[in-house]
Structure 1
């Protein structure tokens, strides 16, 4: 669905509650898992502050993510590097999203929930929920913005921690994305166990 922000948010008010925002991070990386977050607001606290994680700096992103987790229902789902290589990145992204929703369902009654998903695709084999895929949803819908913040901060921290064990790749700098530095380090040292062996830029050196 692609509507103006105002028309979209007016339409969302007509959907069955609760509403759940879902977004992923790490889909385009050469290394590391893919993360998805699911968020359900509990109140109006700080909602107007939430923005797409790509639109704010790291310090602001961390503060906003902390606010989301402190004031609202949140859950994170992860798909591993092995799952990415086995099923492909799109299917692994759906796996992470399902896991996030399933964890959120332990906190909130999602019986009549509507899932608001960033992007063009609904989650397949998940017919128990109403779903709405929203193009540029992370910019237009606060719930999805909140999910993008939580997922981004969590995955960035994971990759930063991973850098201490795999010092040759600079994970703390690029978080696994395909920067020229990262590509050069893969070529120089070969892939680590955290690199996606089916991805161009990695598989050539496996």
Structure 2
């Protein structure tokens, strides 16, 4: 008879139900039952991940083969750029199993997926729109312009563009998708690239302006950030048309 340790190790290494497992369900040892339960939960989670992955792929596939997903990060913060990305993925792209809206993933998972997207994408581009341009145009127009630039800079021209809740001034056929990063694998990939690039930018900015805590709040209006603004005033990277920065500039 196999020991509990041997069975647990074998189940951890397994990726599907196999013939040798037929007696495990009836094995009354508590340790075996715990390992078996964990194995079944892992299989179910994997099944759900695969189903969600397939749904995202099917969503994109309805628009053609070369579909570019477009998303942004940083429309709401008081400081830093808004960052947009456009991504064309290969068909299926099983390597991105588990990729989701960037807000649903941990920083570690985002960074891992970011590398995988860059490795497997047929084409991608990331664009940074400065606070200066945001103040000049307004955040909506600045984001739209940045997204358009991301699409135009792809080295492969897509057949179709799916954009997270935005319509762009481009000649390529497009669709504006509400909560697109939860429906489209290409938009989710763009979300990951934009979010990861912006977070890195703000962490670098924190080295230049350590008193604001940019590495912790990425420029959003947290209590810590607002207190730093009151004490030190805005930097050149703050958005002068956003409150309370706007009122501080008048003062």
State the TM-score, normalized to the length of structure 2: 0.73
> Unaligned regions of 5+ residues in structure 1, if any?
none
Q: Is 1:79 equivalent to 2:129 in the alignment? A: yes
> Does the residue aligned with 1:76 lie in a helix, a strand or coil?
strand
Counterpart CA distance in 1 for 2:57 and 2:237 is 39
Does the Cα contact within 8 Å between 1:21 and 1:116 map onto a contact in 2? yes
**Gapped runs of 5+ residues in structure 2?**
1-51
Q: CA RMSD in A?
A: 1.8
* Alpha-carbon shift at residue 15 of structure 1 (Å): 2.1
- Of 190, 213, 221, the match for 1:178: 221
Higher relative contact order (CA 8 A, sep 6+): 1
Which residues of 2 match residues 49-60 of structure 1 at below 5 A?
49-60=98-109
Identify the structure with the greater helix proportion.
2
What's the CA shift string for 1:117-162, capped at 9, x where partnerless?
A: 112x211x22x11110111111111111111001100010000001
Greater CA radius of gyration, 1 or 2? Answer: 2
Instruction: Indicate if the aligned counterparts of 2:96 and 2:113 stay in contact, CA closer than 8 A.
Output: no
Provide the residue aligned with 1:101 in structure 2: 151
In the alignment, does 2:199 pair up with 1:149? no
| 1:32 aligned counterpart, secondary structure | coil
Say if 2:61 is the partner of 1:61: no
Decide which of 31, 38, 41 is 2:79's aligned counterpart. 31
Q: In structure 2, which of residues 107, 119, 135 is the aligned counterpart of residue 70 of structure 1? A: 119
Q: Residue 51 of structure 1 aligns to a residue in which SS?
A: coil
Matching residue of 1:116 = 162
> In 1, are the aligned partners of 2:60 and 2:185 still within 8 Å (CA)?
no
TM superposition shift of 1:95: 1.3
TM-score w.r.t. structure 1 length? 0.89
Of 11, 15, 19 in structure 1, the residue corresponding to residue 67 of structure 2 is 19
Q: State the partner residue of 1:48.
A: 97
Deviations 1:43-69 (A, max 9, x none): 524232211100011011100111000
- 2: distance between equivalents of 1:149 and 1:139? 12
